[in-house]
Structure formats: structure tokens, C-alpha cells
């Protein structure tokens, strides 16, 4: 008589089953809410409006080209930014900050969501259609050493975009560039020099001047001062603030340095594993952070007063892989206050106070008691 194999049936805890059912119901409700958000009219006051932006990179494809595994770099990010404002984006390395900035500029094609710039939906624009917006949307790259062509002089680097986009007549290009260099704190005799002849702070000023040469309305600042020492950082941050005031620029400022973000930003978004976990005005975020991850980040800010005792919140473990994110709340694997619900149910990203958004079950329970 042949041996028979009995299939083991997994017994699911009733509470876990209820959480799984609640998560499925909540995801369906979120999809309906997204569909309604896409139908809403654009905010005429906002220079940049991002709705449920998503960017995935394929990791594995089938023989027919169908994506089987993907890395979710940016997932369901939404915010608004007005002209003359600065949005600071903070979070750990690998949380999707740079990918978010590049997706806004369409240097990476978004996988989903909407990008509305200056009252126009540019999500599905092709290269030719985007060309007219390139002068209005610019980026300052993180590395001032590799982002400048080594065989071009400063004059050529700054003149090229001005000529290509016909910002001024050809006869006025040099005067325009010299005036721009003066605004950015660059001496006129730098015009004939090459990038390798400058320090890191001077190179970053050249990068700033190049970004502003086409008179943009929006500038993505991808950690523009992280490679500089503290004194040079302060000079470049003050330069960015002065230029913003004189040119009414909007910045998306990506940084790890929370003190710099606090100084330059009007609004702050906190990202974790591709998602925006908290968003609000600078005053609200720093004085009353409501997400556990935001509280942990801010507890790491050093205080120069030796008499003040810091209540440091230490997060155990590393940030999970975006190729295999945890179920439920993505922060539950490191959250010191995580509950069973956090392991299975995705938290809703919602407004708890005017202009103050967060995605956390603990916040839901706390504010429901008020």
C-alpha cells in the first residue's frame, strides 16, 4: 500500500484574518479615492502639484517582456508647492528622495500618478513636448565634481543652455552670463577657467548658476551642500535663499541634514521606503511630529547645549529592501510602538491637522480619542 501524503492546512488566527480583510477593504477604498483625486480640477495657485506619484524599476522580466519582479522606488506620493516656496524632503539613504526629484522632472518616466506643473499635466509628455518646460524646471546635482564637463570652461558651461534655449540674443549672451556669475558669487575672471581649477564650494556655485541660467520657476536641489564643509554650506544656502527671493523660485530641497532643511524650508516631507509618511508646514513638523519615524529622525538632531538631555529614539535594524517591502505599514519592522494591526493593514495617508498629513495607525487611534 503506497504511502499517502496529507496536506497540512494552515490555521489562520481570527484576529489576523480580520486584519487581512480590513487591509483588502482599505486598499480598495484607497484606489477609489485615487480615481476621484485624478478627476479633481488642478490647483491654480500651485506651481507644482504631485498626485499619487509612483515609480518602479523592473528587476526581472519574462521572455515576453512582462515584468515579474520590480523595485518600488516611489510609491503614492502627493503634495503641492507654490511659487517662492521651498519643500524639504528628508529620509534615510535609499528611501526614494532623489528618484522622486528626477521623476518630477521626468528624467525618470513615472510608472503612475500625475505631475501637474504650472497648471498643465505633464505626466504623459514626450521628449519633444517636455522641451518647452525644460527651461522652467531645473536640477542642481549632488556631486559638483562629476556634474560639470571637465573640458569646457565656465563661460561655455553657462553659455550653452542660454544659446540652446535662446534666452537672450547671441550678442548679449556673454553679458548675461557675466551678470549671472556675479549674482551667484563668481568672479568675472572665472569665465575662462575650467572646473578642475575650483574648490568644491565654487563648483557648486557654478552648478547653481547653470541651473538658473535658463530662468526656471522650479529647481530640484538634490543634496546641493552635502559634499561641502559647514562654512561653505552656509554660504551656498544663503545664496540659494537670496536667489529665491529675487527670482521667486520654488525649491524641492533634498537633504539628510535636518538643520539645513529647517533653515531653508517652508514645508517638509518625510519619506520612508518610497512613501511619504508625514508632510506639513515646517513649524508643525518640527514642533509637533506625529509619525514615529519623524520623531526618531528629529531625536537624532544634536543639541549644542550640554545641559540639555537628549531623548534619543534608537531604531533597530536596517531599512527593508524596496524590492521586497513589508506588508502593512512599511515602518512596522523598526517601529518601537508597532501593534499587530501595523503588520497587516496599510495605514491611510490622511490629514490630521490643517495641512499636516501622516500615514500611521497610532496617529489614527490618538486623534480619534480627541
Type and span of the H or E element at 113: strand 112-117
pLDDT of residue 6: 43
| Complete DSSP assignment for 26-88 | HHHHHHHHHHHHHHSPP-TTEEEEEEEEEEEEEEEE-TT--EEEEEEEEEEEEEEEETT-EEE
pLDDT in tens, 331-362: 999 998 888 889 999 998 989 989 899 999 88
pLDDT of amino acid 186: 92
CA 97/CA 126 separation, integer angstroms: 23
The pLDDT confidence band at residue 10, using thresholds 50, 70 and 90, is low
Q: Are 167 and 177 in contact (CB under 8 A)?
A: no
pLDDT in tens, 147-167: 899 999 999 999 999 999 999
300 band by pLDDT with thresholds 50, 70 and 90: confident
Read off the pLDDT band of 369 (50, 70, 90): low
Q: Which residue ranges make up each domain of the chain? A: 43-136+215-298
C-alpha dihedral (130, 135, 136, 142), degrees to nearest 10 = 100
Lowest mean pLDDT among 139-143, 168-172, 319-323: 319-323
Residue that is written with C-alpha cell 500618478 in the block: 113
- CA atoms of 286 and 266, how far apart (whole Å): 11
* Percent of the residues in the chain that have a pLDDT greater than 90, as a whole number: 55
What pLDDT score was predicted for residue 26? 83
> What pLDDT shows up at residue 21?
84
**pTM value > 0.85:** yes
Find which of 22-26, 307-311, 357-361 is predicted with most confidence, using mean pLDDT: 357-361
For residue 5, pLDDT beyond 60: no
Of 12-16, 116-120, 335-339, 341-345, the least confident:
12-16
The pLDDT of residue 4 is above 50: no
Contacts of residue 247, Cβ cutoff 8 Å, sequence gap at least 6: 212, 215
Give the 3-state secondary structure of residue 182.
helix
CB atoms within 10 A of CB 112: 15
What pLDDT, on the 0 to 100 scale, is given for residue 14?
Answer: 79
| Out of 73-82, 220-229, 308-317, least confident range | 308-317
What was the pLDDT predicted at 8?
Answer: 42
β-pair partners for 272: 275
DSSP string, 255-312: -S-HHHHHHH-SEEEEEETTEEEEEEEHHHHHH---SHHHHHHHHTS--S-TTSPP--
Distance, in Å, from the CA atom of 322 to the CA atom of 7, rounded to the nearest integer, reads 33
- 359 forms beta bridges with 349
Mean pLDDT of 238-267: 92
Bridge-based pairing state of the strands 349-353 and 67-82: unpaired
Q: Return the pLDDT at 289.
A: 92
- As a whole number of angstroms, the distance between CA 326 and CA 48 comes to 31
The neighbour count for residue 241, using CB atoms within 10 Å, is 15
pLDDT tens per residue, range 184-221: 999 999 999 999 999 888 999 999 999 999 999 999 99
Q: Cβ atoms within 10 A of the Cβ of 132, count?
A: 11
Instruction: Inform me whether the pLDDT recorded for 7 exceeds 50.
Output: no
Domain 43-136+215-298 fold = Rossmann fold (3.40.50)
The answer to whether 76 touches 359, Cβ cutoff 8 Å, is no
User: Helix and strand tally (H, E) in the chain?
Assistant: 12, 12
**Higher model confidence: residue 106 or residue 259?**
106
Res 298 pLDDT > 80: yes
Instruction: Assess whether pLDDT exceeds 80 at residue 303.
Output: no
pLDDT at 11: 57
At 316 the pLDDT is 81
Amino acid at each position: 500500500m503506497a504511502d499517502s501524503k496529507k496536506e497540512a492546512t494552515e490555521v489562520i488566527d481570527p484576529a489576523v484574518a480580520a486584519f487581512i480583510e480590513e487591509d483588502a477593504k482599505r486598499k480598495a477604498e484607497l484606489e477609489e479615492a485615487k480615481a476621484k483625486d485624478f478627476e479633481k480640477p488642478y490647483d491654480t495657485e500651485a506651481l507644482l502639484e504631485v498626485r499619487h506619484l509612483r515609480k518602479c524599476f523592473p528587476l526581472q522580466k519574462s521572455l515576453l517582456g512582462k515584468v515579474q519582479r520590480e523595485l518600488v522606488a516611489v510609491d503614492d506620493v502627493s503634495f503641492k508647492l507654490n511659487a517662492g516656496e521651498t519643500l524639504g524632503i528628508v529620509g534615510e539613504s535609499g528611501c526614494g528622495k532623489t528618484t522622486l526629484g528626477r521623476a518630477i522632472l521626468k528624467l525618470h518616466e513615472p510608472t503612475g500618478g500625475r505631475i501637474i506643473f504650472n497648471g498643465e499635466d505633464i505626466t504623459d509628455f514626450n521628449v519633444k513636448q517636455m522641451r518647452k518646460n525644460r527651461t522652467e524646471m531645473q536640477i542642481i546635482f549632488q556631486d559638483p565634481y562629476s556634474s560639470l564637463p571637465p573640458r569646457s570652461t565656465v563661460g561655455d558651461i553657462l553659455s550653452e543652455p542660454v544659446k540652446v534655449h535662446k534666452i537672450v540674443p547671441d550678442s548679449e549672451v556673454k553679458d548675461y552670463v557675466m551678470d549671472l556669475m556675479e549674482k551667484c558669487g563668481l568672479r568675472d575672471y572665472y569665465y575662462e577657467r575650467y572646473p578642475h581649477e575650483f574648490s568644491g564650494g565654487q563648483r557648486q556655485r557654478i552648478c547653481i548658476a547653470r541651473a538658473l541660467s535658463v530662468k526656471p520657476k522650479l529647481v530640484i536641489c538634490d543634496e546641493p551642500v552635502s559634499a561641502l564643509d559647514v562654512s561653505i554650506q552656509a554660504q551656498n544656502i544663503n545664496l540659494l535663499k537670496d536667489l529665491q527671493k529675487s527670482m521667486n523660485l520654488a525649491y524641492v530641497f533634498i537633504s539628510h541634514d535636518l538643520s539645513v532643511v529647517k533653515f531653508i524650508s517652508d514645508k517638509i516631507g518625510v519619506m520612508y521606503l518610497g512613501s511619504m509618511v508625514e508632510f506639513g508646514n515646517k513649524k508643525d513638523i518640527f514642533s509637533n511630529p506625529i509619525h514615529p519615524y519623524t520623531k526618531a529622525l528629529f531625536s537624532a538632531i544634536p543639541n549644542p547645549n550640554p545641559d540639555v538631555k537628549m531623548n534619543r529614539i534608537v531604531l533597530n535594524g536596517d531599512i527593508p529592501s524596496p524590492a521586497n517591502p513589508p506588508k502593512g505599514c512599511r515602518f512596522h519592522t523598526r517601529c518601537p510602538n508597532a501593534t499587530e494591526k501595523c503588520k497587516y493593514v496599510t495605514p491611510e495617508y490622511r490629514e490630521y491637522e490643517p495641512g499636516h498629513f501622516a500615514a500611521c495607525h497610532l496617529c489614527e487611534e490618538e486623534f480619534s480619542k480627541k
